[in-house]
Amino acid sequence: MKNLEEYERELKTCSKCGLCQSVCPIYKETGIETVVSRGKFNMLLGLIKGDLKYSQNIDKYLSLCLNCKACDDFCPSSIKASEIITAAKNKYKKYCYTIKYDSFFKLKMLSLSFVFNLYRFSHFSFLVGKFEKYIIKVGFLGKLFILFDKISRITVKRKPTIKNKEKNLKVIYFEGCFTKYLNPSVKNALLNQLEKNNIEVILKNFECCGISALYSGKKDLFLKLKEKNTKLLNEECDYIVCDCATCLSAIKEYNESFSNKVIDIFELLSKTNSTQIQKEKITYHLPCHLRENKKEIKNEIEKTFSNYVEMKDFDSCCGFAGDFSINFPEISEKISDKKIQNIEKTDSNYILTSCPGCVIGLNKGLINKNLNKKVLNIIEYLEINS
């Protein structure tokens, strides 16, 4: 991971063609030049040369990025804008993010975990489901409560382990914080599916992947988490499997010898299994952090789900992007509204995706529009239907 100054040459290769404007979701909503990569590059060159002084405004423009990497894909000069923006944040930003990764991080997550478990234990969800349309009308708090209810539901339970089956592959499962602390449903589905496909799985006690620390300008913290996780990941295996696109991109960002073994669970199962599912119409939202494998994932989805309907811009950001939706709620909502309109046009009742963050973002968007559709991680849907 380079320092900002080391990107000066790349910053200067920007031809100012402006193509990044046509893909940046934030530019499309705001029309502000300094939010798009070209504009940010001019600003950063000014800072590097000393023509500009770091200010609150610059801080805001640096934060106005979803890290969706859409501009990286589109840039004819192949400039990795999201990498440069992250380097700039790490040089300049004094950024405060929602759940800070500090010495109390685990305590905070365990407290949240307790709340989620208590809620599930209360079986209150049954009543919430019945009165959802009334609760939504309560306004912001009602919508927040429905969102909490949806993301706390366990869709898949863990099946009993089948012992003494010969295994074909050995994988390490990188369990992300959402699954670990808030909802184990996706992990249950992943473990059931790995077992069903005779894949041996190694479970370890990983730390947070560190990506929000990195994107928030806390590179030192990211490096500490990387060091701890890297020790655990350096074990002989065929693949390192993730059910969260964001964790997957973080581990790849570690840039260690195992990086090319990191794989999304759906992609891994597509390699080992040719299941075909003929059920109701489904659509799929591609998380920004799986953008690199867009073609492969799209092909596998088309092969696996005979009733797949592709939504327009299936690879565009859902607008959530963690803290972004809290710091810039209006822009986040506008981006989300577009995604929901595209979902509605597919007439699908199930929206599948591969990242817990997107599951939250898509549910939030659907609740805002009072639409009753189900959002699932793709591995949960596979487990339920295969």
Residue numbers at the binding site for ligand SF4 (CB under 6 A): 14-20, 23-26, 36-38, 65-71, 74-77, 79, 81-82
Q: Which residue, chain included where needed, has tokens 């659509």?
A: 283
Smallest distance, Å, CB 229 to ligand SF4? Answer: 24
Q: Which two tokens stand for residue 85?
A: 């923006």
Q: How many CB atoms lie within 10 A of CB 18?
A: 14
Query: Comparing C-alpha atoms, which of 169, 170, 173 is closest to residue 191?
Result: 173
Q: Which two tokens stand for residue 141?
A: 């708090």
Q: Which two tokens stand for residue 187?
A: 């992990």
Under a CB-based contact definition with an 8 Å cutoff, are residues 184 and 191 in contact?
no
Nearer to ligand SF4, 19 or 128 (CB): 19
Nearer to ligand SF4, 28 or 159 (CB): 28
Smallest distance, Å, CB 76 to ligand SF4? Answer: 6
Handedness of CA 263, 266, 272, 274 (dihedral sign): negative
Could you tell me which residues are beta bridge partners of residue 277?
Answer: 305
Q: Which two tokens stand for residue 241?
A: 């499997």
Q: Which residue, chain included where needed, has tokens 């959802």?
A: 132
Under a CB-based contact definition with an 8 Å cutoff, are residues 177 and 186 in contact?
no
Smallest distance, Å, CB 97 to ligand SF4? Answer: 17
Nearer to ligand SF4, 85 or 172 (CB): 85
Single-letter amino acid code for the residue at 94? K
Q: Where are the alpha helices (DSSP H) in 197-304?
A: 211-215, 219-233, 245-253, 265-272, 294-304
Under a CB-based contact definition with an 8 Å cutoff, are residues 43 and 83 in contact?
no
**Sequential DSSP letters for 184-213:** THHHHHHHHHHHHTTEEEEE--PPP--HHH
Nearer to ligand SF4, 23 or 242 (CB): 23
Smallest distance, Å, CB 82 to ligand SF4? Answer: 4
Smallest distance, Å, CB 78 to ligand SF4? Answer: 8
CB-side neighbour CA atoms (13 Å) of 142? 13
Nearer to ligand SF4, 32 or 371 (CB): 32
Smallest distance, Å, CB 30 to ligand SF4? Answer: 10
Nearer to ligand SF4, 71 or 208 (CB): 71
Nearer to ligand SF4, 288 or 301 (CB): 288
Nearer to ligand SF4, 40 or 226 (CB): 40
Smallest distance, Å, CB 300 to ligand SF4? Answer: 25
Smallest distance, Å, CB 25 to ligand SF4? Answer: 6
Nearer to ligand SF4, 19 or 45 (CB): 19
169-174 and 350-353 as β-strands: parallel, antiparallel, unpaired? unpaired
Smallest distance, Å, CB 216 to ligand SF4? Answer: 14
Q: 315: which residues sit within 8 A by CB, 6+ positions away?
A: 70, 286, 288, 291, 294
Q: Is 172 left (phi over 0), alpha (psi -120 to 50) or beta?
A: beta
Single-letter amino acid code for the residue at 68? C
Query: Is 355 strand, coil or helix?
Result: coil
